[in-house]
């Protein structure tokens, strides 16, 4: 059975996998959105529902299809400057915490440089984490996720546990028409 409480590096791998999955796959993004909007955490121990006898035709999707090229391009930049894929794909079970920490520092520095070069990222909320806030009726539910004991209607009084992030500008390099974005890191052959 999959560990329901993965460690830091497990969560890091999951986070990046979900990030790129959401960027490159509209259907997956919709499933993640529905999971985030669920009133309570899903019960992973419950038996899966039996399929219906007659298949139901899905309603036409109002979600827009996104091209995976930008996600692949970002993944390529993270690999080039931070060796991100190499780090995530490495079996780290036999490494010491010190070795992993040293590698994580290099990957972190490279990832941070890529994000800062190609994106302008700002916090969603300007208040410091731990600050008390009041969310009035009509607050942007896409920008603020309520957690904890969510009961009733706004105004909601709570504490900022994470300020959130939003991208204000994206500066990905332009690609030649012949560029194969699926090659995020070419193989290297030393002569």
Does residue 118 register a pLDDT over 70?
A: yes
Q: pLDDT tens across 45-66, in order?
A: 555 555 566 677 777 777 878 7
Residue 59 resides in a domain: no
Number of domains in the chain: 2
Give percent above pLDDT 90 in the chain: 64
Residue 74 resides in a domain: yes
Residue 46 resides in a domain: no
Quick one: 152 and 172 in the same domain? no
The CB density around residue 71, as the number of other CB atoms within 10 Å, is: 19
Residue 55 resides in a domain: no
Indicate the average pLDDT of the chain: 85
Quick one: 74 and 116 in the same domain? yes
Cβ-based neighbours of 51, under 8 Å, separated by 6 or more: none
Domain that residue 146 falls in: 125-163
3-state secondary structure 2-31: CCCCCCHHHHHHHHHHHHHHHHHCHHHHHH
Beta strands, E only, 76-189: 119-123, 132-135, 156-159, 165-170
Q: Give pLDDT, residue 106.
A: 94
Q: Give pLDDT, residue 27.
A: 75
Residue 49 resides in a domain: no
**Residue 17 vs residue 100, higher pLDDT:** 100
Quick one: 74 and 27 in the same domain? yes
**Residue 173 vs residue 60, higher pLDDT:** 173
Residue 119 resides in a domain: yes
Give percent above pLDDT 70 in the chain: 82
Q: Give pLDDT, residue 50.
A: 59
Quick one: 148 and 173 in the same domain? no
Quick one: 103 and 176 in the same domain? yes
Quick one: 71 and 135 in the same domain? no
Quick one: 72 and 157 in the same domain? no
Residue 98 resides in a domain: yes
Quick one: 87 and 119 in the same domain? yes
**Residue 2 vs residue 142, higher pLDDT:** 142
Quick one: 77 and 33 in the same domain? yes
pTM strictly above 0.95: no
Q: Give pLDDT, residue 47.
A: 57
HSE toward the beta carbon, residue 142, CA cutoff 13 A: 2
Quick one: 91 and 170 in the same domain? yes
């Amino acid at each position: 059975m999959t560990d329901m409480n993965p460690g830091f590096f497990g969560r890091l791998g999951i986070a990046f996998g979900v990030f790129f999955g959401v960027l490159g796959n509209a259907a997956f993004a919709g499933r993640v959105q529905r999971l985030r909007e669920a009133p309570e955490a899903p019960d992973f121990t419950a038996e899966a529902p039996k399929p219906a006898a007659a298949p139901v035709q899905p309603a036409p999707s109002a979600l827009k299809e996104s091209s995976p090229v930008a996600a692949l391009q970002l993944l390529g930049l993270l690999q080039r400057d931070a060796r991100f894929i190499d780090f995530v794909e490495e079996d780290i079970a036999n490494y010491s915490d010190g070795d992993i920490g040293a590698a994580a520092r290099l990957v972190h520095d490279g990832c941070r440089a890529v994000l800062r070069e190609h994106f302008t990222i700002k916090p969603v909320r300007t208040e410091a984490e731990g600050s008390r806030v009041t969310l009035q009726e009509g607050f942007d539910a896409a920008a603020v996720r309520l957690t904890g004991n969510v009961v009733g209607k706004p105004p909601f009084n709570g504490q900022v546990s994470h300020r959130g992030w939003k991208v204000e500008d994206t500066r990905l390099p332009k690609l030649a028409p012949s560029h194969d974005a699926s090659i995020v890191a070419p193989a290297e052959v030393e002569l």
